[in-house]
Structure 1
Amino acid sequence: MGRDAGNDWSELEAEAGPPSKQQQQTISSLSGIDAAKLAPMLGVYGLSQPGRPEYLFPEQTQRSMFQQMTINCGVSYGAGLVLGGLYGASQGMRSQDATNAKLRLNAILNGAGKRGAALGNSLGILALLYTCSENALSSIRDKKDVYNEIGGAALTGLIYKSSRGIRVATAAGLLAGSALGLVGTVRHHLAKHGYHSFSQAVPKFT
């Protein structure tokens, strides 16, 4: 039966003959199509970014607010715990009250615990405020761009220092917004000029 099928296929090929010049041109033109550019039309997202996962729905390409909150707060708290702990440990090592090894070890542990917890809590709160502010602006504007990051940072600084008065809160908001604006500008220009690997290394908090 397999031999008969092979003979039938050979007969069909013989009847069809070689492809015409127009058919060859059509086939060669199809080979130049970029599937990554057609992917959104076909309902597949992520093909234009090699190494990234593919999604059927565009909203799946962005993390949800709770995913962002978990990552931002966790990373910020962990970084604050480590950096603050190192700073507190260095203070404990330089303490003049530690006259022997036991007291010096106690001073190091106390300093690391105190400074690490304080900085970790502060950075965790900042990350929480920023994530909520950035997502609120994104929902209001119905758009995801760098302006949400800048506005979210400005609101974060404003709220975080609101108990210190209008002047201090405004200065903190302007400083935080300017810092995020600088980060976003650097990331945008790196991506624009083809340095995608470097632009991805610049922090993005969304």
Structure 2
Amino acid sequence: MDNSSNPGRGSLGGFFGGGAPVYSHADLAGVPLTGMSPLSPYLNVDPRYLVQDTDEFILPTGANKTRGRFELAFFTIGGCCMTGAGFGALNGLRLGLKETQNMAWSKPRNVQILNMVTRHGALWANTLGSLALLYSAFGVIIEKTRGAEDDLNTVAAGTMTGMLYKSTGGLRGVARGGLIGLTLTSFYALYNNWEHLKSTAARQSL
């Protein structure tokens, strides 16, 4: 009998059980990677350990996975400025067309409409940008003071922003601005936690 087909048989290695089995390409072709035996014959590792269920990035020591208010402040201020500029430009275009509707299409009418667009765009961009700056500053200060980040910081920052922005109108203006800021930020916090509140109410009803 030819022993070349099975090198582990008829040798000292086969006697002591040290002979490693030899697989051919035909033997390995039908071996599934998953199923009864998830061990891969090619990698000799369990493929389940190769599945990445977590985020594939490294965070600095002590860093959070979510961005803080200071990091979000730049996005908030820039986004409010661009939103205000876009809304103001559209409003200026509407007012410009309304005020010049009796004029024929000419260069003076185009200049007047353009002036309305730029003036209202800059006004709204400045207004919303100032509000976003105050809101972000109050949010960062409250977060650092309390040492926590939650919806209470959002509501408090919005209320203080409204109070300070309307402080030139006296006590009535301060109260009105604080009430507006409190209402808007409360609705925003409620919107962010709506799914959590629904799931909590569903669990309590069971």
* TM, length-normalised to structure 1: 0.65
Q: Tell me: CA distance 1:179–1:75, structure 2 relative to 1, closer, same or farther (3 Å).
A: same
Q: Tell me: CA distance 1:192–1:57, structure 2 relative to 1, closer, same or farther (3 Å).
A: farther
Equivalence for 2:159:
154
Counterpart amino acid of 1:134? G
Q: How many residues align?
A: 156
Which one of the candidate residues 119, 135, 146 is aligned to 1:130? 135
1:164 aligns with 2:169: yes
Once the two structures are TM-superposed, the CA of residue 56 in structure 1 deviates from its matched residue by: 5.1
Gaps of 5+ in 2: 1-6, 22-47, 200-206
* TM, length-normalised to structure 2: 0.65
**Aligned equivalents of 1:169 and 1:9: distance in 2?**
88
Equivalence for 2:64:
60
Secondary structure at the counterpart of residue 94 of structure 1:
helix
Equivalence for 1:100:
104
In percent, how many aligned pairs have the same letter?
A: 22
Residues 24-39 of structure 1 mapped to structure 2, 5 A cutoff:
none
Gaps of 5+ in 1: 12-30, 37-46, 195-206
CA contact (8 A) 1:130 1:153 kept: yes
Secondary structure at the counterpart of residue 193 of structure 2:
helix
Q: Deviations over 1:15-61 (max 9, x none)?
A: xxxxxxxxxxxxxxxx9xxx97xxxxxxxxxx4xxx79663545332
Equivalence for 1:182:
187
**Aligned equivalents of 1:53 and 1:178: distance in 2?**
38
Which one of the candidate residues 77, 90, 93 is aligned to 1:89? 93
Q: Tell me: CA distance 1:145–1:97, structure 2 relative to 1, closer, same or farther (3 Å).
A: same
CA contact (8 A) 2:85 2:125 kept: yes
**Aligned equivalents of 2:169 and 2:130: distance in 1?**
17
Counterpart amino acid of 1:185? L
Higher helix share: 1
- Aligned-residue Cα RMSD (Å) equals 3.0
**Aligned equivalents of 1:9 and 1:84: distance in 2?**
82
